[in-house]
Structure formats: structure tokens, C-alpha cells
Amino acid sequence: MSSRSSSRASRSAVREQPSDAGDQLTRTWRAAGLAGIVLLGGLLAGCASTGAVPRPFPVPEDGSEIPRGPIAGDTVAGDALTFQGTPYRAAGADPSGFDCSGLVQYVFARHGIVVPRSVAEQFRIGRDVDADRLEPGDLVFFRINARDVSHVGIAVGGGRFVHAPSARGIVRVSLLAAPYWAKRYAGARRVGGG
């Protein structure tokens, strides 16, 4: 072999080595990623199979059974009002902190009524209610920054609703007729009532 072809073979080998090293690194990362996914799946499956109940799970405070069937809206509204002052917490769904849909889900669960977790899903349940026919316990929905509904509260009567807004950070009562809310009102739904 001439020195010229030996030189070319040498350069070719040098060029291939980084490619092989890069391929090896890629294979290593892929294997690690796959192992991580399998491990995560195993952990999640383990959690789901324990039958553990999240605490605190909403139950009636007097120890009575959770009611089955229709519940009076004023009962739901009254219960929701007891959470006034509870801190806002993003993705919160228990008394340590609520976001808007978490408050709704938690309060209704305390009365044996299962509602979905997200505002969009909650907007699709129950039956539509005209604004002039709102009753305590009805869900009221708002479009804050988009075309889609993004905020929910529970009507409590007197043109008011209780909700967990991120602004000012606590569960509180607001007026539906307040300019901010009236301008963003998207509709209402009746869930679990008569």
C-alpha cells in the first residue's frame, strides 16, 4: 500500500471514529431513556394498584353516610362557603389549597356527586341554565383570557358566587354583576340538583 492510500485510510478511520462514538452515545441515551420510562411506568402502576385513598378525602363531618341521589343546591353552596379564606393553590383540590375546578370537584364530592377535574370538562356536565334562572349550587363559568372557558365558581344566591381565583389568592365570594365577571361570563350548568 502506498503512503498516499495509507494516509487516506488513516483519515477515513479517524472520520469514522467520532461517528461510532456518537452512535454509541446515542444508543446509551436511548437505553437509559427507555429504562427510565419502564421504571416510571412501574412506579405509576404500583401507586395505582395500592388502592390508597387520597387524604383528606371529602366525607361528611358528622360521620353520616354520603347522600345518594339529588342534593339541594343550597346545601352545596353552603358547604362551598365554608371554604372562604382557604388559600389558592395551582392544581389544588383539597382544603390545604384549591384552584377553581378543584374547589368545585371537592365540594360536590363531599355530597356524593362526582364531577370532572378540569373547567372544560365541568362545562360539559349537567344541564344548561339561563343566567336569570341561576340557583344556589349551579356552576358558573367564565372566559378569562381565551375563547374557551377557563374559570368556574359555585352560585350561592343573591347574584353572588364562591370561587378560587388566583388573584388575591384565597377562596372568596364575588358578584356576578361586577364588571370584570359580567364581561367574562360564559354560562352556567346545573349538576346533581333537582
CB–CB of 100/170 below 8 Å? no
Select which of 163, 172, 189, 190 is catalytic: 163
168 HSE (CA, 13 A, CB side): 10
- The one catalytic residue in 71, 76, 77, 100 is 100
Task: Tell me the three-class secondary structure of 6-73, residue by residue.
Answer: HHHHHHHHHHHHHHHHHHHHHHHHHHHHHHHHHHHHHHHHHHHHCCCCCCCCCCCCCCCCCCCCCCCH
Reported as half-sphere exposure (CB side, CA atoms, 13 A), residue 156 has a value of: 20
Cα–Cα nearest to 95, from 45, 131, 59: 59
Residue of 151, 160, 189, 190 with catalytic role: 151
Whether residue 111 lies in the annotated active site: no
Report the C-alpha gap between 151 and 143 in whole angstroms: 7
Catalytic residues: 100, 151, 163
